[in-house]
Amino acid sequence: MSGIPPFDVFRSLLNNSFRDKEPWQIVTITTTTVLATVWLWEYCFRDDESLLERGKKQFFRLARYVPAIRDRIDTELAGINANFEKEAAHRLTGISTVRELPENGWSETEILDMVKKCVNLGNYDWKAGKVSGTVYKDDKALVNLVTAVYGVASYTNPLHADIFPGVCKMEAEVVRAACNLFHGDSESCGTMTTGGTESILLACKALRDYARDVKGIKNPEMVVPTTAHSAFDKAAQYLKIRVVNVPVNPKSFTVSIESMKKAISRNTIMLVGSAPNFPYGTMDNIEAISELGVRYNIPVHVDACLGGFLICFMEAAGFSLPPFDFALKGVVSISADTHKYGYAPKGSSVIMYREKKYRHHQYTMTTDWPGGIYGSPTVNGSRAGGIIAACWATMMHFGKNGYVEATRKVIETTRYIEQELRKLDGIFIFGTPATSVIALGSDQFHIYRLSDALSAKGWNLNPLQFPCGIHICVTHLHTQSGIADEFLDDLKTELALIMKTPDVPVAGKLAMYGMSQSIPDRSVVSDFTRYFLDSMYYIPSSEVKPEANGKLPGS
Ligand SMILES: *Cc1c(COP(=O)(O)O)cnc(C)c1O
């Protein structure tokens, strides 16, 4: 055989196997084989999820057909659901509930009274700085200002640019000012959105459509660090983009650039970096990600939702930070939340682009609707002019110096807490906090125990998973005098107690959270998360009807 070329071997093999076939059979076999191959290829590689991921899901789906397993899961879930409802009801103790529109409208006093009661429910004293993140500033003068501004603009809508041109102007000014803060040139642009999630969703939409129209990418993938915000997964689910997750370096807790490079394919529409990320507060090496973006001609999105309005003032506040914005050539879009460290009321964020061509792909246009030619820049049709005005007002109220000062306070407080925590035995800090988030872990005890113990003292921290951790996101409320030390003192006391019995397992509310990480069937975790969301819409059955004298029962 040594003298026969391989192609001849292949040819004679093929000819032999088809020797007794009629032409129609050859055609049919060939067509079927081609179609089956294409189908198999699509099945294996053309899906939002990897084959392994789908295989796992299918396995667990099948397992649920086994009656014993199904019954067990159903019983557990029913118990969990009942528990969520009980907790929801408990949170509402002492307040009457409404199930139907009142026959006649309530008076202003009744309404305000009830709103205040509703807002004041809950066990954590966020005003005293006991809560991680959540509310970023509580300043009477600012609240009064945004309330007055909202009052003036509450019924306006930038959808009707001809009727409210000035609301559009305020939006344009917020965007312009933000672009300048992030070193955008005159081509840079953006829009306001309702929050970080919408900003991210729109960046993914814009870059997906850009990749499709300009590069012909039909099966879009985005390369995302595991630590990036879950809004990217949400966007992927809405927009049918495949997420390619990239691990972080186990020491620095910033994305591994080597792994990111390997994750790039012909279908990659965007690379993502966080400045900083939510879980650990570490900042990815945006410079290196930008270089990858330039080298492979792939847009880079920087998620600065959390820290955006800190990082652009840090230099002026006296802290150094590696570059993270449009000053880097590869950075094409940036999301930054005005409703976090921009200190605007909730419901506003900014999505920015390096060039107008990207923003064009964010828009949606309907040209043939009987209601008119309908173009809209963001997800919503009608938009809240009041929120735009309130955000604009907040930015004008602070000015550059106001933000620099606020940033200085937040970062100084964070650095102080970090420095004190590093002195303690039994806990460690994940990576290097870039801005205002400090994440803690422990090799010696279950870190959720510390969270639980601090919760009993009124502190509300965020639990992290894979690996277990807890974090505190320092806001302006923590910069009030004495709060950082009170936190550190409570933490030291509880840590000392825990270190006496480091092997005790975690109990209390966080036990389930800890346990859920070991459930291999993640759909079960989805199920109970679903029930948790249901419980937020659960109203225990007690009715409230304003009495004839105008007083609420129980008020
Ligand atoms: C808060 C946050 C988001 C999402 O913003 P929302 O305003 O909650 O929708 C995105 N990325 C990071 C890093 C965040 O902290």
Q: Using 50, 70 and 90 to split pLDDT, how confident is the model at 47?
A: low
**What is the pLDDT, as a whole number, of residue 15?**
87
Q: Give the span between the Cα atoms of 326 and 96, in whole angstroms.
A: 52
**What is the pLDDT, as a whole number, of residue 547?**
43
pLDDT at 4 over 80: no
**What is the pLDDT, as a whole number, of residue 46?**
67
> What end-to-end distance do the CA atoms of the chain give, in Å?
99
**What is the pLDDT, as a whole number, of residue 555?**
37
* CATH for 161-398 (1.10.1740.10, 3.40.640.10, 3.40.50.2000, 3.30.365.10): 3.40.640.10
Among the residue ranges 19-33, 86-100, 538-552, the one predicted with the least confidence is 538-552
Mutation to probe ligand 1, out of 199, 200, 306, 341 (largest number of atoms < 8 A from CB)? 306
231 lines ligand 1 (CB under 6 A): yes
pLDDT at 505 over 70: yes
Q: How far is the centre of ligand 1, averaged over its atoms, from the C-alpha of 387 (Å)?
A: 18
Q: How far is the centre of ligand 1, averaged over its atoms, from the C-alpha of 552 (Å)?
A: 38
Q: How far is the centre of ligand 1, averaged over its atoms, from the C-alpha of 346 (Å)?
A: 12
pLDDT digits (tens, 9 = 90+) for 355-372: 999 999 999 999 999 999
Percent of the chain with pLDDT over 70: 96
Mutation to probe ligand 1, out of 199, 200, 229, 238 (largest number of atoms < 8 A from CB)? 229
Q: How far is the centre of ligand 1, averaged over its atoms, from the C-alpha of 260 (Å)?
A: 22
303 lines ligand 1 (CB under 6 A): yes
337 lines ligand 1 (CB under 6 A): yes
Mean pLDDT for 414-433 is 97
Bond into 67 cis (ω within 30): no
Q: How far is the centre of ligand 1, averaged over its atoms, from the C-alpha of 283 (Å)?
A: 14
Answer for the pair 118, 91: CB distance below 8 angstroms, yes or no: no
Residue nearest atom 14 of ligand 1, based on CA coordinates: 306
Q: Using 50, 70 and 90 to split pLDDT, how confident is the model at 237?
A: very high
299 lines ligand 1 (CB under 6 A): no
Q: How far is the centre of ligand 1, averaged over its atoms, from the C-alpha of 150 (Å)?
A: 23
Q: How far is the centre of ligand 1, averaged over its atoms, from the C-alpha of 339 (Å)?
A: 10
Residue nearest atom 6 of ligand 1, based on CA coordinates: 196
pLDDT at 550 over 50: no
Exposure string for 427-442, b = 16+ CB within 10 A, e = fewer = bbbbbbbbbbbbbbbb
Q: Using 50, 70 and 90 to split pLDDT, how confident is the model at 80?
A: confident
pLDDT at 343 over 90: yes
Answer for the pair 307, 321: CB distance below 8 angstroms, yes or no: no
Q: Using 50, 70 and 90 to split pLDDT, how confident is the model at 2?
A: low
Q: Using 50, 70 and 90 to split pLDDT, how confident is the model at 514?
A: confident
User: Whose CA is closest to 46, among 289, 300, 219, 216?
Assistant: 219
Ligand 1 atom closest to the Cα of residue 228 is 13
197 lines ligand 1 (CB under 6 A): yes
277 lines ligand 1 (CB under 6 A): yes
Residue nearest atom 1 of ligand 1, based on CA coordinates: 306
225 lines ligand 1 (CB under 6 A): no
**What is the pLDDT, as a whole number, of residue 48?**
66
User: How are strands ordered across the β-sheet holding 189-193?
Assistant: 189-193, 349-353, 331-336, 300-304, 268-274, 221-225, 242-246
pLDDT at 3 over 90: no
Residue nearest atom 4 of ligand 1, based on CA coordinates: 196
Mean pLDDT for 87-108 is 91
pLDDT at 544 over 70: no
Q: How far is the centre of ligand 1, averaged over its atoms, from the C-alpha of 438 (Å)?
A: 16
pLDDT at 72 over 90: no
Among the residue ranges 187-191, 478-482, 503-507, 513-517, the one predicted with the least confidence is 513-517
Q: Using 50, 70 and 90 to split pLDDT, how confident is the model at 542?
A: low
Helix/strand/coil for 199: helix
Mean pLDDT for 59-85 is 86
Of 537 and 48, the structure prediction assigns the larger pLDDT to 537
Q: Using 50, 70 and 90 to split pLDDT, how confident is the model at 545?
A: very low
Phi first, then psi: give them for residue 248, nearest 5 degrees: -100, 160
pLDDT at 64 over 90: no
Q: Using 50, 70 and 90 to split pLDDT, how confident is the model at 554?
A: very low
229 lines ligand 1 (CB under 6 A): yes
| Displacement of CA 473 from its chain's centroid (Å) | 15
439 lines ligand 1 (CB under 6 A): no
Residue ranges of the domains in the chain?
A: 1-45, 47-122+519-555, 161-398
Residue nearest atom 8 of ligand 1, based on CA coordinates: 196
**What is the pLDDT, as a whole number, of residue 546?**
42
Nearby residues of 111 by Cβ (< 8 Å), 6 or more positions away? none
Q: Give the span between the Cα atoms of 200 and 234, in whole angstroms.
A: 9
Ligand 1 atom closest to the Cα of residue 337 is 7
Provide the mean pLDDT of the chain.
92
| Displacement of CA 535 from its chain's centroid (Å) | 21
CA 89 → CA 81, 84, 313, 514, 542, distances in Å? 12, 9, 43, 24, 10
**Residue 221 DSSP symbol:** E
Ligand 1 atom closest to the Cα of residue 276 is 13
pLDDT digits (tens, 9 = 90+) for 460-499: 999 999 999 999 999 999 999 999 999 999 999 999 999 9
Of 455 and 550, the structure prediction assigns the larger pLDDT to 455
pLDDT digits (tens, 9 = 90+) for 251-296: 999 999 999 999 999 999 999 999 999 999 999 999 999 999 999 9
193 lines ligand 1 (CB under 6 A): no
Ligand 1 atom closest to the Cα of residue 195 is 7
pLDDT at 553 over 70: no
Q: How far is the centre of ligand 1, averaged over its atoms, from the C-alpha of 290 (Å)?
A: 21
Percent of the chain with pLDDT over 90: 74
